[in-house]
Amino acid sequence: MRLRVLALLLLFATACGAPRPSKTGRMAVGIKAPDFVLSDIFGRGEINSAKVFYNNNATVVVIWSMACPTCREAILEVQSLYEEYGTQAVAFIGINFDIENVQGVKAFIRGEGITFPMLWDRRAQVARLYRAADYTFSIFIVNRNGRIALAQYDHPPDLRERISRELRRLIKRQD
């Protein structure tokens, strides 16, 4: 009986579109991106991801921590991509999950001129949803149907090219 109930619950969760990680435990390309609502790190309001996902050709979601120097370098790369693609119906959302150094995060964002929205995941809930809590940097591209088009954990040396290639593909599909 327990096995039947468990099987029914699993079937229900699958049918409801619950995010399923790949065999590696990471988010897989093609699955529905988890929706979230988070506040701006500077207290300027909230962002509902579902509204952003469906109103743009693509949404770049960056989940990061100040704990690593390469994360800070990667955020600067993402800022450059935002400046390049932000006018082409591509949204950018940064999500920081630091809890001990929030003032340092704010100072970094201001000091480096990061202008795309930066949200604060104070309980790392979104980081866990995206299976990113074990990494100091993760980036996802979500298509206009709310599906993961790119899932990248950590900061590869060719990050900019990977993101650019996927954004060009998604923008071209909308032309």
pLDDT by residue (tens digit) across 109-126? 999 999 999 999 999 999
- Separation of alpha carbons 117 and 94, rounded Å: 6
Which tokens hold the place of 76? 């600067």
Query: What does pTM read for this prediction?
Result: 0.84
The domain locations on the chain are 25-174
25-174 CATH: 3.40.30.10
- Among 19-33, 49-63, 122-136, where is mean pLDDT lowest? 19-33
Alpha carbon distance, N-terminus to C-terminus of the chain: 53
Rounded to a whole number, what is the largest CA-CA distance in the chain? 59
Burial tier of 122 (Cβ tally within 10 Å: 0-12, 13-18, 19+): middle
For residues 99 and 13, which has the higher predicted lDDT (pLDDT)? 99
pLDDT in tens, 51-79: 999 999 999 999 999 887 888 889 999 99
Report whether 94 contacts 117 (CB < 8 A). Answer: yes
